[in-house]
Amino acid sequence: MKGNLENKRVAIVGGGPGGLTLARLLQLKGIDVKVYERDINRDVRVQGATLDLHFESGLKVMNAADLMDAFKANYRPGADKGRIVDTQAKIIHDDHEKESNEDFGDERFRPEIDRGPLRNLLLNSLQPDTVVWDSQFKSMLQAGDKWKLEFKNGTIATADIVIGADGANSKIRPYITPTKPFYSGVTIIQGNVPDSETSAPGIHQLLKGGKIYAYDGEKFLHVSSKGDGSLDFYVSCKKDEHWIQTSGINFSDKTQVIAWFKEEFSKWDSLWLELPENVSLPLLLRPQYCMPLDQSWNTLPNLTILGDAAHPMPPSGEGVNLAMLDALELSECLTNENFKDMQTAIATYEKQMLVRAANEARDSLEMTEWMHSEGAVAKLVQMFN
């Protein structure tokens, strides 16, 4: 069933998990789809910590996309086990001590996968040449009932429907709504330490192949192991929206990064210095934004957005899961023959997507608040138990 996409070409802008998932789901239904991705090629290193897929969203989508076997071949058993530690690296709670009987089919099971392998399994599921690499979006305009897209490399494409899956700084979103996200009050500084067993042996041992969570009431540090032997970490702290520009710190300079870390973590154990001393530069600097919870717009006949392009918010562990669920619901609406036209199908998708996103954003903002407050450790231990 092709629904309102019969004889139509779909252009997806952005080749992250949401965009690639949508392409896979549409191709399973015989739809003509192209993904335009700004990365030069598929071998560009994918940054970011491991992520977990959830029963009611990410894993549900893996089943719908007929990719569960590929996921099981690539996920990392045990990577979901976490340790909550204090600032002196003393373990307060340890998942590794608990016997876990959870497995696929259990609603509580949240298997972890690195972003690179997830992207690769999605790419491998697509027809050859589905992804058009080195295609950074520049602009688009309507040409009759189609869209004409222009990319920074000078190429042009046309499509009957455009879907923006191009992340929190989406260039497609302004074509749909003038509403801008607001600053959440929190900035994340993110880095990767290669070969952690050798370069950061103390933290590597503390990680034990899983995750570390550490808080001091004003900021928190999250560390996760990766399948390539490296570790990812991010520092989340309450800062002014423009702190990165006004701090005077050059986060591409190792000496300045170490000096900043020593000052920011002056009361923490020296073990944590393994992170800034061995991190690959430059660091990723990410002020966290969120869309207004009551955002809405008038549905357009052949343009929509999904994932962070539609609903950026501070991390809550739901980001990729939400994007993949958006992709599933959008694919089902667009190929449903009961809708009289594409605009009605998109409107149905957007209505349920915006309600779900608002609920999750509310939870995300609440989590952001308590994670940067006194009592965060006790609350997290309670959650883990």
Q: Please enumerate, by residue number, every residue annotated as part of a binding site.
A: 45, 52, 115, 308
Q: Is residue 341 classed as helix, strand or coil in its secondary structure?
A: coil
**Closest to 48 measured CA to CA, from 226, 186, 208:** 226
User: CA 14, CA 132: separation in Å to the nearest integer?
Assistant: 10
Identify the burial level of 139 via C-beta atoms within 10 angstroms of its C-beta, where 0-12 means exposed, 13-18 middle and 19 or more buried. exposed
User: CA 214, CA 217: separation in Å to the nearest integer?
Assistant: 10
Helix ranges (DSSP H) in 170-253: 196-199, 201-207, 243-246
Tokens 């739901």 correspond to what residue?
Answer: 318
- In degrees rounded to 5, what are phi and psi of residue 148? -110, 115
Binding-site entries for FAD = 52, 115, 308
Which helix (H) or strand (E) segment holds residue 64: the answer is helix 58-64
Binding-site entries for NADPH = 45
Q: Are 19 and 12 in contact (CB under 8 A)?
A: yes
350 contacts: CB under 8 Å, gap ≥ 6: 297, 299, 304
User: CA 278, CA 200: separation in Å to the nearest integer?
Assistant: 7
User: What single letter denotes the amino acid at residue 288?
Assistant: Q
Which helix (H) or strand (E) segment holds residue 193: the answer is strand 182-193
**Closest to 152 measured CA to CA, from 169, 168, 170, 139:** 139
**Closest to 238 measured CA to CA, from 163, 188, 312:** 188
User: What single letter denotes the amino acid at residue 179?
Assistant: T
User: CA 90, CA 83: separation in Å to the nearest integer?
Assistant: 10
191 contacts: CB under 8 Å, gap ≥ 6: 232, 233, 234, 275, 276, 279, 280, 281, 283, 284
**Closest to 218 measured CA to CA, from 240, 256, 186, 183:** 186
